[in-house]
Amino acid sequence: MTTPIVILGAGGNSLGIIDAIEALNTIRPTYRIEGILDDIPENQGRVMLGAKVIGRIEDAPKLSGCKFVNGISSVASFRKIPEIVRRAGVGTERFETIVHPRATVASSARVGAGSTILAGSVICPETEIGHHVIILQNTTVNHHTRVGDFTTLSAGITILGYIEIGANAFIGGGATIAPKVKVGAGALVGAGSVVIRDVPPGRVFAGNPAREIAGSPHAFR
């Protein structure tokens, strides 16, 4: 028997989630994608890889028996993820953890509910991944690293050992974070950055070595 699942968001991250679900189903039929929920009016009725947008985020409680996974996150929207999950109005137990079969997760690693780990990513031993974390393709999270709830790790990131990433942070594609660095809650690390010192909560850092950037995260769109 397959589990009906609904994806939040009709953006690029959801394409990766659909791909992961389809890959899992080729090994063993596990999920049936019921559709996508998205609040952008022009996305209503849109079809992505065979999955149709069937309503808004607030429609989630109407879909009884379904599991959910969030795909909404970008430089412009990542700080809204906790509110998006809240507006879905369903309990944590109804959020599914999706791990692409071509991702590697160590047996001693812990991954929270509603998190997604896409193809080629590696989650090393003694790592803790929180709830509703999005980890895109080919990202490595090394040993004894902790990633907070609602955080987004973009594609091609190298996160080394003993790192702490706070809740609702966003790490841009291709970034490298040196051992024992702390990235604060709600912080943004720009794509391609090399982070060798702590990033305070809510700040925007970018560059090699990464330094604080004045202004809004929207500058990184």
Q: Is 219 within a domain?
A: no
CATH (domain of 107): 2.160.10.10
Q: Is 212 within a domain?
A: no
What backbone torsions phi and psi does residue 98 show, to the nearest 5 degrees?
Answer: -115, 120
pTM of the model: 0.95
Q: What total number of domains does the chain contain? A: 2
Q: Is 198 within a domain?
A: yes
Tell me which of 94, 116, 144 is where a domain ends.
94
Whether 143 is catalytic = yes
Distance separating alpha carbons of residues 39 and 61, to the nearest angstrom? 15
Is the pLDDT at 106 greater than 70, yes or no? yes
Residue tagged active-site, from 100, 131, 132, 143: 143
Is the pLDDT at 221 greater than 50, yes or no? no
Is the pLDDT at 28 greater than 70, yes or no? yes
Same-domain pairing of 185 and 102? yes
Same-domain pairing of 86 and 102? no
Strands 210-212 and 204-207: antiparallel
